[in-house]
Amino acid sequence: MMRALIQAGGAGTRLASITRNIIPKPMVRIGGKPILEHQVSLLTREGIRDIAISISKSGEAIPDYFGDGSKFGCRISYIREDEPLGSGGAIGFLPPSEEETLFLFGDLMLDISISRFLAFHLERGGMLTAFAHPNGHPYDSDVLLLGKSSLIKGILGKKVERTDFYPNLTNAGVYILSPKLVSSFGKPRKADFEKDVMAPLVGERQAYAYCSPEYVKDAGTVDRFEQVNEDLASGIIASKNLSKKQKAIFLDRDGTLNVFGDFVTSPEKLFLAPGAAEAVKMINESSYLAIVITNQPVVARGETSFEELDRIHMKLADLLGEKGAYVDALYFCPHHPKSGFPGERKELKIECSCRKPKPGMILEAAKRFNIDLASSWMVGDTRQDVQTGINAGTKTVLLTSGDQRNNPLYEKSEPTFVAYDLLEAVKKILG
């Protein structure tokens, strides 16, 4: 199936108050086990039995603990870096193989469906696929810029000044490398993985991003170490694996996340609704996914472009990110069934299966993220949103703080309950 290479040779200076420079950072215990043991358990559970671990001179505690891997149900070999080779240099020690290589860093707590990750990688056929996800601090993270089919078209480094809105899609530090990439790396050499391995492949259009809301968190700082411990104890980490049925809170956009008013046709017209960021952050910290489901007929009517709509949604991500919140995915319908608008795009003036109250967007999300709709919610400020949830098989919440115009077509669409705003709704759902 696959083999794995774990980079466990980092100095771990940010976690020195816990490691006391005595044990390697990947050997710090979370839930009674070293971080590295959680990784090895995940790999073996996913069918990966051939694991190489790169260690530094001070990392002998790792082979002392794991040995040859037999007691953990796998084969573990060690790459000893007498001199630090950077985050990517150990790739040169890997023997040739026809298998893909899962490459990850040893300070990550994660629980992901590797089989789904691999299927995406093989389908795209690139040299490298990076695991990518939103997080609560995109402003100080490396952000991936994507093109069609999730091709990575650029990397926006955390130290680069950001003069425009940007997506909340961060590089998680988990990758699948093709056999061709490994064999072309050559002899062991000093290499920064992102700069010397990943960036050239981005330029050659050979790198893709697998976008997933599954749990991957760097436990390399004291604050994040404590958060990971809490998440493990609460069951959040395991529950996010997409091999398990997920729960979602589907969110309308206008009047729910952002202030209701005129149609939002440019980023300058979008403002977060009071309490919205706090509500989304509460969802992020729960076992639910936060997924936006929104009709955007402004595209079909020619009032904005797909490119400008992307900027609007990046502003939404930026505003949420400033408050430590994020949405796991966003679906929009650009269609509109009626003609007669100046500048309209005729190819989008159609009867579609995605425009609310039809459940197309929710059903697409459910398929992608393995969502149990009966355990999920649709929250919006119109009875059309309520009917969308009913049509999809979710429970529903109607907000009274947004659009109060009543469409007679949906006046009989009764919600599970009514709340004033998103914050009140989320508190009731989670409570």
Residues annotated as catalytic (active site), given as ranges: 252, 254
For residue 251, the cross-strand partners are 292, 379
CB 144, CB 130: distance < 8 Å: yes
Report long-range pairs for 97-101 (Cβ below 8 Å, ≥24 apart).
Answer: 97/3, 97/179, 97/182, 98/179, 99/1, 99/2, 99/3, 99/50, 99/179, 100/2, 100/3, 100/176, 100/177, 100/178, 100/179, 101/2, 101/3, 101/4, 101/5, 101/176, 101/177, 101/179, 101/182
Give 250's contacts (C-beta < 8 A, 6+ positions apart): 291, 292, 293, 362, 365, 376, 377, 378, 379, 389, 392, 394
- Both tokens of residue 426? 């989320």
The dihedrals phi and psi of 415, each to the nearest 5 degrees, come to -80, 165
Q: How far apart are CA 112 and CA 121, in angstroms?
A: 14
The interaxial angle of helices 306-322 and 276-284, nearest 10 deg, is 80
